[in-house]
Structure 1
């Protein structure tokens, strides 16, 4: 049995960074994770209306897979979930009116991706990309041409041709 994998990424997220907007904090954390070749999702979020404003970010491979009650075709393929313990917590300070991020656990129990090109989470289309794609689709532009034009606009985009094709046919 191979030894367990432990990759520590905590030092990359340990900073005094504070943002006035929680979306900017999430954007920063996702960009750091993208450079390290993994994806971050929002696990829990509370805007502060009923409870204290907070935010929990985790590795997309965190948690357990919960199978659907109805048998799906994808059930035969397995899951990406491996109970990765990586977790970041964001807190809002009412006095300074700033969000800050702390590392709850910086360890990963899985190999990081070699690249995020076409990745389900990292390759998601941004709202402005969706608008652009809708416009190009209405003008009957081929998916590969849409992708090349999109890559010219944003060279850091992780979207693949398959994602463009799937987005066109929804």
Structure 2
């Protein structure tokens, strides 16, 4: 921005921003929105250098018109039509109701059902039974290397099955 344009924009801000802000607060009752509208109005003035060259009276009228149009556009927008603000936040449960644990168990159970019998057996013995590789090997009568391999590939398949259900890694 040339120095002259910057000076004119600063002058425009100094002379009219407060009046435009009060006007928007009067229209909306929302001080935060008024800040945003004034900023957007001045941004539009900066993008349209012809406004900077106008007389003070016509520049002021242009600023008020633009601010009013921004407020109208915001009120007509979808977010304004379908959302409403509130001063109170929704209540959060004071204690864990266990719903998350139930849903997690359901997801894991569904994912386990997709695995082969061999992979599922090794995972269930290791994670739900708390057994070591050697114990799983003895109980399922398979070599320890096979237990490790099935555990590795079973967990990979499990991860994919969970990702298909929308579960992501943290």
Larger radius of gyration: 2
Same fold (TM over 0.5): no
Q: Which has the higher contact order (CA 8 A, sep 6+)?
A: 1
Q: Which bin holds the TM-score, normalised by the shorter protein?
A: under 0.3
| Larger helix share, 1 or 2 | 2
| Larger strand share, 1 or 2 | 1
